[in-house]
Structure 1
């Protein structure tokens, strides 16, 4: 639990500084909406949620829980009220530019001052109150977490991996990807990440490592209370990952194969049969961008949405825009149309193995913006791939908190939890895509957005005394 406490400390620290402290100390009652609380409980009609000092005090309905004196009432009538969303696979060092080499060469010195803060505020205003950042330079990650902890910038509660760990790395990537060549090197690098405040280890190409090296990474991470996520692009990455004890697989494969080999599926079934609650095997498929790419090429209008420009400088915006001007021409995506038809079968296969799937999007990669992709993924899960709406909401709220071991503080709207709450106008269980327009965002008991209107004054004065 040591590493998980550090992320909670960041959120708690925000309650003790500047303007945020004043706002969060306010007693707020959210009244009227249908509450989908993130647990297995049925929704509560005409709900009442009492929040004080950033913590949920009581939950009930208007018949059973009167609002005490001293609470400011925020109406949620006509809304579905949910726990704040989790984005389980983010890249806050990236904001949609199509050329990675260009981006790394030209924007390294802007990460902590411009790029990462922009990504974080965009996530927050889209209703994402917790995020896992999986792959960035260590010094930048440490610096941005400090800015969050010091209350200088707004954003989700952030869980981070720092650099990828892998077998081989190109020189131009070496500041955010680390080669690991031996058992001693594996343990030393995990130790360094742990001591820098990372909660997660991100492992890729584990099938290209000596097995003892990959095993040492996982073993050292688990000894230190860290979670290990790993790529699942190749069958051998999955086979090795299960053997060495990966906690969470990421993605659905880079190839055009129609599905996973049967022995891989059998291995996953055996793994999911060995644990109950603590032994869950998680999977973040990050497949919406693959599934919808042909539609994006036909209608790229969403790339013109001004939401992704928030917090970015004009020259940054212009550079990103020119890089994605022709979505169908991007080298990065040329194989995607051939991969798209495989997604439904792969998702069906994963469902049948019993892995616990999480909402995550690989946001930050080309054309994937922090203000859009989480709701895109949720809508595709329900409307295109047949996931149950309630299961989809829990995959974006409750289960990510369980995966990170912080379900005692986050993931549901229940008494004693941190007041990370959103509200959406309409019936989200029938129309999941309405989650694109989050009308209210509360983080740590602070209301950043209400009736669809962002509190720009709050954002402008964030961190000031």
Structure 2
């Protein structure tokens, strides 16, 4: 993703006064000054060491923590929280590029998410939405896409966004098609159903093109095979109601994470907050009434989503969840001990997981319920996702030479992670979309005009 030159131009900006948590292992910097020129971070210092040159617009961040823009490492921008997948796929298939995906992207951006891994969508829709972003027709985060899932068997109603792969030749053909269409990621699901040589061919072909491979971790055999064939990241906590991962799986993960420095990193996106807090949501579903998830959606779409989630406790999709909830803490503890590099991602878009809420909720549960260090949680939502995608030279930290994707939140985020629900400032490519909690609606209207 390049820096937008249309319809808005990045100006020279100085962010002045806030405490900078820059995404690296560096300690926070009080009274920071960040100089941004043409959408690129030029210099970083403090009010005592770095003067603001003439010609820079000063944007105060006093009283705020300043962070790199967040990454949502597991989103589904073709979904908006509706509880009936088969209905959604049929009713909204032709509204994805013009309504659904743009709404998802602007909701993510205004929540402080400036980069997204979108894991599963029709290929043509993924290509079209990336084109809209690249040409400045719509605003949104940097978008990294997988296009369709790859798997062994696909039901007919899913065939537009899931592809069957039956043999090695088919694997090579389909991975090349994804690459040639501009996808950066290959997504596997039920990879343990694939013949071993076919699964290996998918990974090898993807890596040949410099693509990343993510695989589901719902079943022990998915993990076992994924480790063997060399997937780059596992998704979800999985294992339904089982109390934890089998010992041989944990041993395999530990062996994989001990093989190198950056080249040996194995990433894992647990997407666990929705599972962990579901009983609380049933008890108090008021957050489902938040107007933030309605932005960009048509009235009939909103009404359809609302009726589908009117009774959160009745959803067949979630009936096992209360039994899974007590297992989450142990699974997270086990994963921590294996050395996998965990990333903040949420499955955003699935039933009742809205793009404007999911990322901050996941981060808050990581810190306040799962015992993650706040600084490392921030890095798991900023720096490490950029490393996973191989774009850490441009994104993931507020350091000189990086693209100016920056957010600010009022208060001490290292003490109260849940304040990140109210992002006060959102800057994307050096352009301020939100300041003092107020969205620049005129700026948004300029897109596509």
Q: TM-score of the superposition, structure 2-length normalised?
A: 1.00
**Does 1:11 find its partner at 2:8?**
no
Inter-partner Cα distance in structure 2 for 1:140 and 1:463:
18
The root-mean-square deviation of aligned C-alpha atoms, in Å, is: 0.5
Q: How many Å apart are 1:383 and its aligned residue?
A: 0.2
Inter-partner Cα distance in structure 2 for 1:278 and 1:403:
10
Q: How many Å apart are 1:277 and its aligned residue?
A: 1.5
Stretches (4+) displaced over 3 A: none
Alignment partner for residue 329 of structure 2, among 312, 319, 344?
A: 344
Contact 2:220–2:239 (8 Å) recurs in 1: no
Inter-partner Cα distance in structure 2 for 1:228 and 1:275:
18
Alignment partner for residue 104 of structure 1, among 77, 81, 89?
A: 89
- In structure 2, the gaps of 5 or more residues are none
Alignment partner for residue 255 of structure 1, among 210, 223, 240?
A: 240
**Does 1:186 find its partner at 2:171?**
yes
Structure 1 counterpart of 2:434: 449
How many residues of Structure 1 are paired with residues of Structure 2 in the alignment?
449
Inter-partner Cα distance in structure 2 for 1:463 and 1:138:
23
- 3-state DSSP of counterpart to 2:250: helix
Alignment partner for residue 361 of structure 2, among 376, 389, 395?
A: 376
**Does 1:290 find its partner at 2:279?**
no
Deviations 1:187-223, CA, capped at 9 Å, x for gaps: 1000000000000000111110100000000000000
Q: How many Å apart are 1:463 and its aligned residue?
A: 3.0
Inter-partner Cα distance in structure 2 for 1:159 and 1:219:
20
Q: How many Å apart are 1:254 and its aligned residue?
A: 4.6
**Does 1:335 find its partner at 2:320?**
yes
Inter-partner Cα distance in structure 2 for 1:48 and 1:147:
33
Inter-partner Cα distance in structure 1 for 2:233 and 2:102:
26
Alignment partner for residue 427 of structure 1, among 412, 424, 427?
A: 412
Alignment partner for residue 268 of structure 1, among 253, 262, 273?
A: 253
Inter-partner Cα distance in structure 2 for 1:51 and 1:461:
22
Q: TM-score of the superposition, structure 1-length normalised?
A: 0.96
Inter-partner Cα distance in structure 2 for 1:180 and 1:193:
13
Inter-partner Cα distance in structure 1 for 2:19 and 2:2:
27
Inter-partner Cα distance in structure 1 for 2:218 and 2:346:
15
Deviations 1:310-364, CA, capped at 9 Å, x for gaps: 0000000000000000000000000000000000000000000000000000000
- 3-state DSSP of counterpart to 1:374: helix
Structure 2 counterpart of 1:79: 64
Contact 2:364–2:418 (8 Å) recurs in 1: yes
